[in-house]
Structure 1
């Protein structure tokens, strides 16, 4: 896992690494959460996001160890074969907010053991419950190690990746896009490296998948109208609010991911993908604009309101309409959405070109 030294004092990650129980881990998460909330307005957003994700990584890593200890105390014994606990989504990209939910999975060794299936079925469920206890909401899309689709042996993962690469419909492509951001957290790192090699091999074997990913990438909600005004929600409890996640953040993430995959860039961080893309094509101002827009998106995600219910952190991901009256914020948002529209149109043109060549 990546680590960074900070000019500003950050949360005490050392105490997370040695948390002796789930109760202690929850206490440390709450303390770190408070510290990070106080630092949000005084640190550059990229540095603050790094701090936040360092905390999440340490908690997830310690939770995996505590899960082993709790299962052993319950009579399951130690893990029968090596495993890798990995994360996907914003966690995989190290872009989680303070209240992001769970997006994780398990890669199990192909070694034979009669207790393997029973143990890791229990392990996945137990770890997901433990993370919920510590404050991480369960993923509504069920991208969690408690689910069999995201908990597989290395060989079964290879077959799963191959299956996704053969089906160009929306859901399999979406699952593949989620998987592409995989990052190792705890356990046996060689399993995660082998998984990455399987993923890259599958991408190389399926050139049609690039077009399918592009097709998924250009599908997102309208965010600016013909007059250049910000489009907010029309109905429901968030009427008048702006959807930060799906209005600006996810379109940028998906677009940059597509371009990075096309260039064989292995980094999962959106900012690092942008850095590599800029090096490959330094004369393209679009990447500079994307970086500015993405930092704005991170700032907006960090600023949305959140709730804590039964110790679980969550957020709607919407910017209240009252915030849109702030002229500086509104200018930054429009600037970012203009970049989103430009990159979206560029990718639409690429998709039309690719599909015309197939005719």
Structure 2
């Protein structure tokens, strides 16, 4: 890391004295990265952006811990890990990603102390979410947040909840399991998440038929390309003529690669890292890994061309890309990438169906 501005920005984040100073740093991050979109290779852009966002989240957690001490709640009573899910867990956040988070802390056999720990981490989680909202990170619309008791608990309770989701795999339970697969520890004792993932993959081995339910969820979002290779655009409303880059290109590929990775016991959460691991495991050929990777990087790049805006202090984006803003060459590249994504979805259906027979 030789960029002095990048170093100085990370230093300002780490030294932010309060939420206002940290908000200023976050705004600076977004302005700086927005100005560098066209000059950085796409993988480097996402690396730098997510490195800065990780630093911001870690500093927000430190400020929340300091707040807890000031109000008489003390320091964390047991080791814990703050978790990121969604694009944060995958290291694929854009300039307007929301919060997808959780928390896991060490078990406590004493009932009274266990209740005190639960109360401490409930209050800490609430404070972290509040600080991140002040920094312009919206709450997850699906309430996958560390201030939701279902996403913040001791390790044994997490493991019991995983057991329940595997044993009673409703649509929502399976969706939550897929979310957990993207989990990454951003702060604290990362071995707690490792132990959670141990339990997750042990359950995968005990419940092989869960893959069929995961496939149903994985195929919920289809790649937006027609049978004749045409783009399937928005037909109504203010986004008429646009293509949904998030749910019509990016998410279908994320979901497909994640399902392949889960079946192989791969714990990497980055989509590109999962592709590399799948190639190393001889699941993807070199040709497939390369073509999927190129298509995915194109989707990452085009996601950055969707309109970023501020709404009541929150960074926001609906993920829609106006096709008229693309050159003819870019449209052809997008069509090619979508056809590759479609091919990947067909492969997932075929291979998972064979595995379940």
> What interval of TM-score do these two structures reach, taking the shorter chain for normalisation?
over 0.9
Hey, what's the Cα distance between the residues in 1 that align with 2:41 and 2:190? 31
Hey, what's the Cα distance between the residues in 1 that align with 2:287 and 2:220? 23
Alignment of 1:150-189 (within 5 A): 150-189=151-190
Provide the residue aligned with 1:10 in structure 2.
6
Answer yes or no: is the 8 Å Cα contact 1:218–1:347 preserved in 2.
Answer: no
Provide the residue aligned with 1:95 in structure 2.
92
Provide the residue aligned with 1:290 in structure 2.
292
Q: CA deviation at 1:25?
A: 0.9
1:207 matched to 2:208? The reply is yes
Hey, what's the Cα distance between the residues in 2 that align with 1:6 and 1:184? 26
Provide the residue aligned with 2:41 in structure 1.
44
Provide the residue aligned with 2:71 in structure 1.
74
Alignment of 1:309-320 (within 5 A): 309-320=311-322
Alignment of 1:177-256 (within 5 A): 177-221=178-222, 223-256=224-257
Residue 107 of structure 1 aligns to a residue whose secondary structure is strand
Residue 209 of structure 2 aligns to a residue whose secondary structure is helix
Residue 115 of structure 1 aligns to a residue whose secondary structure is helix
Aligned positions, number: 351
Hey, what's the Cα distance between the residues in 2 that align with 1:193 and 1:51? 25
Q: CA deviation at 1:200?
A: 1.9
Provide the residue aligned with 2:347 in structure 1.
346
Provide the residue aligned with 1:276 in structure 2.
277
TM-score (norm 1): 0.93
Gaps of 5+ in 2: none
Q: CA deviation at 1:348?
A: 2.1
Q: Deviations over 1:139-170 (max 9, x none)?
A: 10111101011111100100111111112332
Distance change >3 Å, CA 182–CA 350, structure 1 → 2 = same
Hey, what's the Cα distance between the residues in 1 that align with 2:10 and 2:136? 17
Provide the residue aligned with 1:146 in structure 2.
147
Hey, what's the Cα distance between the residues in 1 that align with 2:306 and 2:135? 21
Residue 187 of structure 2 aligns to a residue whose secondary structure is strand
Q: CA deviation at 1:181?
A: 0.7
Q: CA deviation at 1:118?
A: 2.0
Provide the residue aligned with 1:303 in structure 2.
305
Answer yes or no: is the 8 Å Cα contact 2:223–2:338 preserved in 1.
Answer: no
Hey, what's the Cα distance between the residues in 2 that align with 1:210 and 1:352? 9
TM-score (norm 2): 0.93
Residue 10 of structure 1 aligns to a residue whose secondary structure is helix
Q: What is the Cα-based RMSD across aligned positions, in Å?
A: 1.8
Q: CA deviation at 1:315?
A: 0.5
Provide the residue aligned with 1:60 in structure 2.
57
1:29 equivalent among 22, 26, 29: 26
Q: Relative to structure 2, which stretch is displaced further, 40-49 or 215-224?
A: 215-224
